[in-house]
Amino acid sequence: MAVSTETVMAIKTYQNQAEALVKNYFLADPFIPYTSVLGGVIACKVVYDLTQLVSTFYIKAYNGLTKIQRIEWNNRGMSTIHAIFITAMSMYFVFWSDLFSDQQHTGLVTLRSSQLSIVGLGVSIGYFFVDFGMIFLYYPTLGGKEYVIHHSLSTIAVAYSMLSGELQLYTYMCLISEVTTPEINMRWYLDTAGLKRSAAYLINGLAIFLAWLMARILLFLYLFYHIYRHYDQVMPSVFLNICYPDELLWLSSDVFGSGSTIYDELDVVWEDHKGIEESLIKETVTHIGIYQTCSSSRGWSNASPPPPFFTVYDRG
């Protein structure tokens, strides 16, 4: 594919501008990225304490939980607020902001960034640091190796995108998938509070399905479509034979971001499977206990089958 000399020079100019931005701004003055990370850590602590305070006075089921259940309850409150924040930021930059718009002629879409986009990613990194610390502190109660792998990949991808200013658009696209986190946490809250058979649990399950369809399937189809449309910017060496010194880092960041999301998918499905399995075991034990109690009080023999209404009750 023939490309004019002017286009090649323009691409090289954008690359030099990006490299100058990294050297003269991010590395020389780390105030904004590092301050945003610290702000994210502080915000997580505040939300954790507020969740504990509000739940103590207004959620009856909270006071009956064990210590580790209360810690996970508070942790999920922190997770929910972060998910709402980063989803709002991501949707703004992906769909409404002019920063990554095709109508803007400010260079390659893969090299665009702003102070606000840096702050958003920094706050998210602060959350990952806090959640990482809690996972290690209470390992494996708050999450096993799947959580460690997911958080590691996510932190590496988001941190690289924040510090380098590269691939922030696609990083924010991946972070939109956090929209499913509040529903997943609400499912755990309802289950822990003994409301698994309530209408709220059913409605929340429907919300999980819709959010999952939009943010975890359709959105990633759009992401790949966007990469296809801007392939000459994402992989300029294919068309221009230009060897970017940091091209491998670009690819690594993109792979890390996508891989962490896929691992999160598998983790949520596995968590749901374990939750269903534990519920079935609890119900089975309860029904056996009821049957044994009734058998001893009514004189049923162990060999005789239970009355029909037991079968109906067990299928609930």
Alpha helix ranges (H) inside the chain: 5-21, 31-58, 67-91, 115-137, 145-164, 168-175, 181-192, 199-212, 219-229, 231-234, 236-240, 247-298, 308-315
Confidence of residue 3 (pLDDT cuts 50, 70, 90): low
Report the pLDDT value the prediction gives residue 18, as an integer from 0 to 100: 56
Q: Residue 19: what pLDDT?
A: 58
pLDDT of residue 61: 92
pLDDT at residue 233, rounded to an integer: 72
Q: Which of 72-81, 87-96, 155-164 has the lowest mean pLDDT?
A: 155-164
Note the pLDDT of residue 140.
86
Going from the C-alpha of 40 to that of each of 62, 123, 137, 270, the distances in angstroms are 26, 4, 19, 29
Q: What angle (nearest 5°) sits at the alpha carbon of residue 170, between those of residues 164 and 173? A: 130
Condensed to tens digits (0 to 9), the pLDDT of residues 8-66 reads 565 666 566 555 555 554 545 578 899 999 999 999 999 999 999 999 999 999 999 99
What is the SS3 assignment for 183-214? HHHHHHHHHHCCCCCCHHHHHHHHHHHHHHHH
What is the C-alpha separation between 298 and 122, in angstroms, rounded?
A: 66
Query: Residue 243 has what pLDDT?
Result: 41
Q: Is the pLDDT of residue 252 over 70?
A: no
DSSP designation for 235: S
303, HSE (Cβ side, Cα atoms, 13 Å):
0
